[in-house]
Amino acid sequence: MARPAAAQRFLSEIGEAGAQRLLTDWELWARPDQLPPATAATGAPWSTWLVLGGRGAGKTRAGAEWVRGLALGRAPFAERPVGRIALVAETMADVREVMVEGVSGLLAIHPDGERPAWEPTRRRLVWPNGAVAQGFSAEDPESLRGPQFEAAWLDELAKWRRGQATFDMLQFGLRLGDQPRQMITTTPRPSALLRRLLGDPATVVSRARTAQNAFHLAPSFLAAVLQRYGGTRLGRQELEGEIIEDRPDALWSRPALEAAREATAPPLVRVVVAVDPPASSRAGADACGIVGAGIDALGGLHVLADESAAGLRPAQWAARAIDLFRRLEADAVVAEVNQGGEMVRAVLGEVDAGVPVIAVRATRGKYLRAEPVAALYEQGRVHHAGAFAALEDELCDFGPGGLSSGRSPDRLDALVWALTELALGPKAPVPRVRGF
């Protein structure tokens, strides 16, 4: 399509360099919620900028542009270049694939003359002016012990498994410059850490809905998710960026799960991996629930892992379950056979015929099966060795009518099968003690 004459003249006047500058001028293209506020509500400088947004709302682009502005010393982000920056995500793969190399990541948003060099072996970006951004994983909080920074970008904080420990270690390292500060970009979940940040007077908050970024999203995606999740509790969290509190009729609550948190599990005498297979592997089908748990010598129960995933073919979810079985050095795989019967056992056997499989069949509804397990939590017998955000979301949204979204609680089902086998099922001989 031909450009309007005025636009053509303008582009001719500013030239290629000017056009490139125009395209990379974030202040021109950003929404107000994607630019940092000047001060906190108290009028003092802020120390934390918390960007709460729905999926695809432009949070990553805002975070990358903030870091770019800091590293280059551009107003309104910084008065001078900020030389030491931390990039923290749930895993190092997330740092690399989302924050650095992603379509809205740091490499993509810089024009050629400003683009930093990514040094994967050192896990850092180096700008031509000498500024450095170093990547860290929330799986390893101790890696933040020692380094020091002027600023930090924390991505998807609400789903970090070791969120509090990682956040705490980072705060000790934010000690350079006149005003150390951090930006947090996340889809919200009602965690204790997020609540504390929202209550901190030094925190400023920006909010963004998925629909606000519609220009950059596939129309079919936006129409599909709005039709399926619009108005639901899950949609309000994942699309509207709201912090959704517990259902009053849910079997679990956030405070109870926070009280059940532990950094690592003690030595365990029995470990199982539970699998709740999906009825189909087609797009949009239920997920395959895969949860690992163990029991200690005193009868304490410990949730160790949630490897649930959607869209997996039978061979894929079987391989995923067996991989977790091996990593945890588990004693058995507990598999629900309502969907597929002997096929479930056969698929697992094709991956590793030597893995003991305990077949279980649901004869009661999900809520009735879950009630005795929820009672174990109330008795203080269950602990979560880390944070399992997606699993805990299901637990706190599960009431007599199921999940508010109407979807199957696949992660919850796998958890229920695992803890039922360990604490409520037939007693098995106690094997050797092992540590994690």
Q: How many CB atoms lie within 10 A of CB 246?
A: 17
Looking at the predicted structure, is the pLDDT value of residue 142 above 90?
Answer: yes
Higher-scoring residue by pLDDT: 429, 230? 230
In this prediction, residue 217 carries a pLDDT of 72
> Helix or strand or coil: residue 92?
helix
User: Taking 80 as the threshold, does the pLDDT of residue 155 lie above it?
Assistant: yes
Average pLDDT over residues 45-52: 93
CA distances from residue 86 to 63, 153, 174, 177 in whole angstroms, order as listed? 12, 6, 9, 14
State the pLDDT confidence band at 436, using cuts at 50, 70 and 90: very low
User: Distance between CA 394 and CA 384 in Å, rounded?
Assistant: 15
Indicate the pLDDT class of residue 428, thresholds 50, 70 and 90. very low
Asked if residue 203 has pLDDT above 70, the reply is yes
SS3 string, 236-303, reads: HHHCCCCCCCCCCCCCCCHHHHHHCEECCCCCECEEEEEEECCCCCCCCCCCEEEEEEEECCCCCEEE
pTM of the full structure: 0.67
C-alpha–C-alpha distance, residues 392 and 117, integer Å:
38
* Collapsed DSSP state (helix, strand, coil) of residue 412: helix
Pairing label, strands 48-53, 132-137: unpaired
Helix axis angle, 410-419 to 366-378, nearest 10°? 60
Q: Which two tokens stand for residue 372?
A: 């005795």
Does the pLDDT of residue 365 top 80, yes or no? Answer: yes
Sign of CA dihedral 224, 229, 234, 238: positive
- Say which residue, 197 or 229, is predicted with more confidence: 197
Q: Does the pLDDT at position 347 exceed 70? A: yes
| Structure confidence at residue 381 (pLDDT) | 95
Task: Report the amino acid identity of residue 388.
Answer: F
Q: What's the mean pLDDT in 75-84?
A: 90
Banded pLDDT at 24 (limits 50, 70, 90): low
How sure is the predictor about 194, in pLDDT bands with cuts at 50, 70 and 90? confident
* 395 has a pLDDT exceeding 50: yes
d(CA 96, CA 87): 10
User: Is a pLDDT exceeding 60 seen at residue 343?
Assistant: yes
pLDDT at 123 over 90: yes
Pairing mode of beta strands 151-155, 84-89: parallel
Decide if 106 contacts 96 (C-beta within 8 A): no
- Report the mean per-residue pLDDT for the chain: 86
3-state secondary structure of 115: coil
- How do strand 382-385 and strand 301-306 relate by DSSP bridges? parallel
> What pairs with residue 185 in β-bridges?
51, 155
Average pLDDT of the segment spanning 153-173: 93
Q: Can you name the residues that pair with 268 across neighbouring β-strands?
A: 434
User: Does 83 have pLDDT greater than 90?
Assistant: yes
pLDDT of residue 79: 87
Round to whole Å and give the CA distance between 13 and 30: 24
Residue 233's pLDDT is 62
The predicted structure's pLDDT at residue 195: 87
| CA-to-CA dists, residue 417 to 237, 317, 360, 420, angstroms | 28, 17, 8, 5
- Block residue for tokens 């202040």: 27
Distance of CA 93 to the CA centre of its chain: 12
| Rounded mean pLDDT, 365-383 | 93
CA distance readout (Å), 112 to 1, 20, 24, 397: 28, 10, 11, 47
pLDDT in tens, 258-315: 889 998 999 999 999 999 988 765 555 578 999 999 999 999 999 999 999 988 888 9
Q: Predicted confidence band at 86 (pLDDT cuts at 50, 70, 90)?
A: very high
The fraction of the chain above a pLDDT of 70, given in percent, is 85
Angle at 116 between CA 130 and CA 48, to 5 degrees: 80
Strand boundaries in 141-238, DSSP class E = 151-155, 181-186, 203-208
The C-alpha atoms of residue 106 and residue 13 are separated, in whole angstroms, by 29
CA distance 7 to 407: 50
10/412: higher pLDDT: 412
Q: What is the pLDDT of residues 216-249, one digit of tens each?
A: 777 777 677 776 666 666 667 777 777 767 778 8
Residue 76 preceded by cis peptide, ω within 30: yes
Query: What number is the average pLDDT over the span 380-406?
Result: 89
Look up residue 182 and give its two tokens.
Answer: 């951090």
Written as six digits, the tokens of 198 are: 């929202």
Range among 24-28, 87-91, 189-193, 256-260 rated most confident: 87-91
- Among 417, 370, 418, 424, residue whose Cα is nearest residue 395: 370
**Residue range 125-140: mean pLDDT, rounded:** 96
Calculate mean pLDDT across residues 31-44: 82
Q: Average pLDDT, stretch 165-169?
A: 95
